[in-house]
Amino acid sequence: MGEVLVLEKRVNYAPGTDYDALWKKIISELFEEFILFFAPDLYEAIDFRKGIVFLEQELPKVIIEHKKGKKIADKIVKVSLKNGEEKYVFIHIEIQGKKDPDFSKRMFTYFYRLFDRFQENIYSIAILTDLSKSNDPQAFQYSFYGTELTYRFNTYKFNEEDIPSLKKSTNPFAIAVLAGIYLHQTEKNYHKRYEVKKKLLKDFILTNPNLKSNVAEALFYFIDYLLYLPDELTKQLTKDLSINIEKEAKHMLYSEKIKEAPTLAEYFKTVREEGFEKGIEKGIEKGKMEEKRNLAAELLREGFSVEKVAKMVKLSLDEVKEIEASIHFNRPES
């Protein structure tokens, strides 16, 4: 069982955005990558082939009551270990506005309540997104006339991370952490934030051939909301990224999950104003049949169904099935 806390100093976030839920969303969508990045030792023990099960409804009532009135996002994840055992991973994310002197005590409180409820081994880690050097929680210690207790937990501190190393990492959470660092570094400079946001979205997501569609979409949504920009800069960002969106990341134009993200929402608004009913038509209807077939092949490789691809690129089912067959035929043997 693992407990994860995310602490953040309040900065100029997008008005009305729930950042607790934003972290919770990307962790839910990319849970395996999350564990690999933040808890590689635990990752080696989990058998992800057997799947994971989120069990929020089983969160102990005593935990919920204890947190009443706080801004939090909770998860319980049931996983199987490679040794055949089943364990629970409890992830608690808490966005906090200032340093908390009772933080370590609260970590221990959640630990013993969870242990009492589940009687399982618990993996605890605190993820500290605040860049303040003073935010350095220590082990919780208790001592009373010979009765002693020391509770230590793992920590991951944004203020100790090396930006060049994060940029070289292939794990999507390295980019998420990088975005979190930039969020604080650009607190008083939206134009600087504009530049780092454009680079993250363009270089690490839209033009990255190694990212799977679901990973790219999850990262795009997370960064687009995390690195809030005023409307005028969002419009400018949309213009700067539109070519990359259409040419390098066409699958995003079909994703209902991220169409409401600020930059893509502005993109679709722009193309509607230019007279297109759908953003993808801007890239397809001017193209030739070969371009349609290439796009169909790309979408099939990404896992879209034949029916969905046929509808997207406006080809017949037979034509798409023929393309699918050619993909399988030309695939090299392992």
DSSP conformation letters of 112-171: HHHHHHH----EEEEEE----TT-----EEEEETTEEEEE--EEEEGGG--HHHHHH--S
Q: 247-263, pLDDT tens digit by residue?
A: 777 677 667 777 778 88
CA distances for 202 relative to 208, 216, 224, 240, 247, angstroms: 8, 11, 12, 9, 12
The pLDDT score that the predictor gives to residue 72 is 44
Arithmetic mean of pLDDT, 51-55: 80
Residue 50 has pLDDT above 50, yes or no: yes
Residue 51 has pLDDT above 80, yes or no: yes
Residue 75 is encoded by which pair of tokens?
Answer: 């998860």
Collapse the DSSP code of 199 into the 3-class scheme (helix H, G, I; strand E, B; otherwise coil) and give the result.
Answer: helix
Arithmetic mean of pLDDT, 100-104: 83
What is the rounded CA–CA span in Å between residue 10 and residue 19?
10
Residue 1 is encoded by which pair of tokens?
Answer: 């069982």
Residue 256 is encoded by which pair of tokens?
Answer: 């209902």
The pLDDT score that the predictor gives to residue 103 is 83
Helix 306-313 with 289-301: angle, nearest 10 deg = 150
Question: Average pLDDT of the chain?
Answer: 78
Task: Spell out the residues 6+ positions from residue 332 whose beta carbon is closer than 8 angstroms to its own.
Answer: none
Candidate ranges 53-67, 272-286, 290-304; pick with highest mean pLDDT: 290-304
What is the rounded CA–CA span in Å between residue 176 and residue 201?
11
- In this structure, are residues 249 and 241 in contact, taking their beta carbons and an 8 Å threshold? no
What is the rounded CA–CA span in Å between residue 3 and residue 92?
6
User: Shortest CA distance to 8 belongs to which of 117, 131, 102?
Assistant: 131
- In this structure, are residues 106 and 3 in contact, taking their beta carbons and an 8 Å threshold? no
CA distances for 15 relative to 12, 228, 229, angstroms: 8, 9, 10
Collapse the DSSP code of 258 into the 3-class scheme (helix H, G, I; strand E, B; otherwise coil) and give the result.
Answer: coil
Amino acid identity of residue 99, one-letter, is K
Residue 174 has pLDDT above 60, yes or no: yes
The pLDDT score that the predictor gives to residue 15 is 56
Arithmetic mean of pLDDT, 16-20: 65
Q: 177 burial class (0-12, 13-18, 19+ CB within 10 angstroms)? A: buried
Strands of the sheet containing 154-157, edge to edge, are 2-7, 123-128, 154-157
Q: Within a 13 Å sphere around the CA of 236, how many CA atoms are in the beta-carbon half?
A: 12
| DSSP for 14-41, written as a single string | PTT--HHHHHHHHHHHTHHHHHHHH-HH
Rg of the chain's alpha carbons, rounded to an integer?
Answer: 23
Q: 181-229, pLDDT tens digit by residue?
A: 998 899 889 999 999 999 999 999 888 888 888 898 899 999 999 999 9
